[in-house]
Amino acid sequence: MWGVLGAGPLALAATLYAPPTAVVQAAPAPHPAEAGTPADPRGAAELFVDLWLRADGSDADNGIAAGVRALAPEVDLPRRPRSTDAPPAAARTRA
């Protein structure tokens, strides 16, 4: 029992005076599922809804319709009557 009690301080002294060793740990390899994890989709969904609400199917060559087509090519654009006014406030989206 005295030997065990004496070995404790000796082990502490040996640990304090031992030369430091650097432990190098390899970085974990990325998993294929984590590499393709998409970002939060709320911003893209907000952008798509905003563009779709302002799009006009009768004028498919404008920039708004091109933005909708870039996000979702298979979506039909709504047909709106020709108007030079700004879209109403209810047609705007905000997160």
Residue 62 lies inside a defined structural domain of this protein: yes
Residue 27 lies inside a defined structural domain of this protein: no
pTM for this model (two decimals):
0.44
How far apart, in whole angstroms, are the C-alpha atoms of residue 5 and residue 91?
80
Q: What is the pLDDT confidence band of residue 11, given thresholds at 50, 70 and 90?
A: confident
Question: How many domains, in total, are found in the chain?
Answer: 1
Region 20-30: mean pLDDT is 75
Region 23-31: mean pLDDT is 74
Domain encompassing residue 70:
37-79+87-95
- Give yes or no for a contact between 57 and 78, defined as CB atoms under 8 angstroms apart: yes
How far apart, in whole angstroms, are the C-alpha atoms of residue 83 and residue 91?
14
Residue 7 lies inside a defined structural domain of this protein: no
